[in-house]
């Protein structure tokens, strides 16, 4: 089976490629923005007309949550319009589309793990553009799969884990918010899960929205503490409220994803966030 990966230079895109040796029956065609700019609908059509594949995994996204407030048009082009174009092109080709989305699309007032059927009241351009992307994908290609995930990190790219390690090496104390609760997700886990579902044929049998994050729950403060504890970095962490760390785009206070639908459909084990964090830190060490 041949898999096209778009936005292949991001965290999830690079993890998919790093895992390719574990999935010898899957042939990966990985393209970054320089080969296929997904915000160019004509380029998608041209590329799809000349390349054969069975599944497209769309890893391309505009992920600069705060900068998106200043770059609304660009964020919408990449997060909303492009997934819609990819979905339509996949349907025409008879290919499956697997797309990733965000916990930020929910941002409702619930204080319990969030269901795929919950209200979506996204705050800010990034979250709103991601929700619009989900809707366009499922409208254009009813057979598409959308995985909503949260707090993604990897040994590749830029993320909270690498920022903490860099800052923790230079400073004695970091002040981190403790009133935003969620679940970190190791990009390698979501990448492995995606390839397993394709290889087993399960991806082709399902469609619609599924939440996926690592198991367990923490605040950003707990996450930072764990990063330092598990990597042996001597840096104190002080818990602060979000009001002391204002950001241009508001973040949800409670953003834990309920993964019951995913588990019932696919029966795949989901790693605990601290175990996955340890795996990533081992790679980085």
Ligand X SMILES: NC(=O)c1ccc[n+]([C@@H]2O[C@H](COP(=O)([O-])OP(=O)(O)OC[C@H]3O[C@@H](n4cnc5c(N)ncnc54)[C@H](OP(=O)(O)O)[C@@H]3O)[C@@H](O)[C@H]2O)c1
Cβ proximity to ligand X: between 5 and 95 the closer is 5
Alpha carbon distance 100, 107 (integer Å):
17
CB 38 within 8 A of CB 10: no
Closest Cα to residue 133, out of 61, 198, 181? Answer: 61
**Tokens standing for residue 15:** 């993890």
Q: What is the DSSP letter of 256?
A: P
CA distances for 141 relative to 1, 102, 224, angstroms: 20, 19, 39
Residue with tokens 């923005």: 33
Cβ proximity to ligand X: between 11 and 178 the closer is 11
Least Å distance, CB 30 to ligand X, is 11
Alpha carbon 63 to its chain's center:
9
Alpha carbon distance 79, 61 (integer Å):
6
Least Å distance, CB 269 to ligand X, is 21
Residue whose C-beta lies closest to ligand X = 10
H/E stretch holding 123: none
| Catalytic option among 76, 100, 104, 126 | 126
Least Å distance, CB 60 to ligand X, is 3
CB 79 within 8 A of CB 61: yes
CB 126 within 8 A of CB 62: yes
Least Å distance, CB 234 to ligand X, is 26
Dihedral sign computed on CA atoms, order 142, 14, 150, 62: negative
Least Å distance, CB 146 to ligand X, is 10
Which parts of this chain interact with ligand X (CB under 6 A)? 6-7, 9-12, 33, 37-39, 59-63, 78, 100, 102-103, 130, 149-152, 157, 187
Residue 21's Cβ-side half-sphere holds a number of Cα atoms within 13 Å equal to: 1
Greatest CA separation found in the chain? Answer: 56
Cβ proximity to ligand X: between 24 and 152 the closer is 152
Name every residue whose Cβ is closer than 8 Å to that of residue 184 and which is 6 or more positions away in sequence.
150, 151, 152, 153, 160, 213, 214, 218, 223, 273, 276, 277
Least Å distance, CB 178 to ligand X, is 18
Does the annotation mark 126 as catalytic?
A: yes
User: Known catalytic residues?
Assistant: 126
């Amino acid at each position: 089976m041949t898999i096209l990966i778009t936005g292949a230079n991001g965290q999830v895109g690079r993890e998919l490629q790093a895992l390719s040796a574990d999935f010898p029956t899957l042939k990966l065609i990985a393209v970054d923005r320089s080969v296929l700019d997904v915000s160019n609908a004509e380029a998608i059509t041209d590329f799809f007309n000349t390349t054969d594949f069975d599944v497209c995994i769309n890893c391309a996204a505009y992920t600069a949550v705060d900068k998106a407030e200043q770059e609304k048009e660009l964020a919408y082009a990449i997060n909303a319009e492009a997934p819609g174009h990819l979905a339509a092109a996949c349907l025409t080709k008879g290919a499956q589309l697997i797309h990733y989305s965000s916990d930020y699309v929910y941002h409702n007032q619930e204080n319990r793990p969030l269901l795929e059927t919950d209200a979506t009241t996204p705050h800010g351009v990034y979250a709103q553009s991601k929700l619009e992307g989900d809707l366009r994908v499922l409208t254009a290609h009813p057979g598409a799969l959308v995985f909503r995930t949260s707090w993604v990190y990897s040994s590749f790219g830029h993320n909270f884990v690498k920022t903490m390690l860099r800052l923790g090496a230079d400073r004695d104390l970091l002040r981190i918010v403790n009133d935003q609760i969620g679940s970190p997700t190791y990009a390698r886990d979501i990448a492995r899960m995606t390839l397993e579902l394709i290889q087993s044929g399960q991806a082709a049998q399902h469609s619609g929205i599924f939440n996926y994050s690592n198991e367990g729950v923490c605040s950003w403060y707990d996450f930072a503490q764990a990063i330092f504890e598990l990597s042996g970095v001597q840096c104190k962490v002080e818990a602060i409220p979000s009001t002391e760390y204002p950001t241009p785009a508001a973040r949800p206070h409670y953003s834990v994803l309920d993964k019951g639908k995913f588990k019932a459909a696919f029966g795949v084990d989901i790693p605990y966030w601290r175990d996955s964090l340890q795996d990533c830190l081992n790679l980085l060490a």
